[in-house]
Amino acid sequence: MAKDEWWLPFPTHLSQEVDRLFDELIHRPWGSVRTTADEWSPQIDLYETETAFILEADLPGVQEHQVSVTVDNGELVLQGKRAVTRSVSQGSLHYSERRSGGFLRRVRLPASVDHNNIGVEFISGVLRITLSKLRTERRGA
């Protein structure tokens, strides 16, 4: 390996590892599971309103028919696949962070989620899942 070749992968690996650790710390109460660093894993936001929990996942390059959202044993399961097309026809690829392949995210649902009232929207590469709360768990209900 040439002297100046080692530095390109290092910041990517370090950045991915910091992101993974931070993600584990933030989502641990929800029991979120991410795939290994070598696989693609969509980034998610999770927030709460008075009546629901909202999960949004960035899925650029993923077609709606390639995504599955299910509930399994008290967990929300988001899985699918994407293919990244690169337009490099001549020359060399110097840096790549975009991942292809299958993905799987599992998020443990709190007991207050109404499993029979879950809405899913897919707009402009963002998957939005609305997890309605049971009426008894809603603030002010």
**Domain residue spans in the chain?**
9-84+100-137
pLDDT at 47: 92
Average pLDDT on 109-127 reads 93
Identify the H or E element spanning 14.
helix 9-27
CA distance 20 to 118: 28
Q: Is domain 9-84+100-137 in CATH 2.60.40.790, yes or no?
A: yes
**Which of 67, 53, 66 has its CA nearest to residue 107?**
53
pTM of the full structure: 0.66
- For residue 121, pLDDT over 90 is answered with yes
User: Of 31-35, 95-99, 126-130, which gets the smallest average pLDDT?
Assistant: 31-35
Residue 58 has pLDDT above 50, yes or no: yes
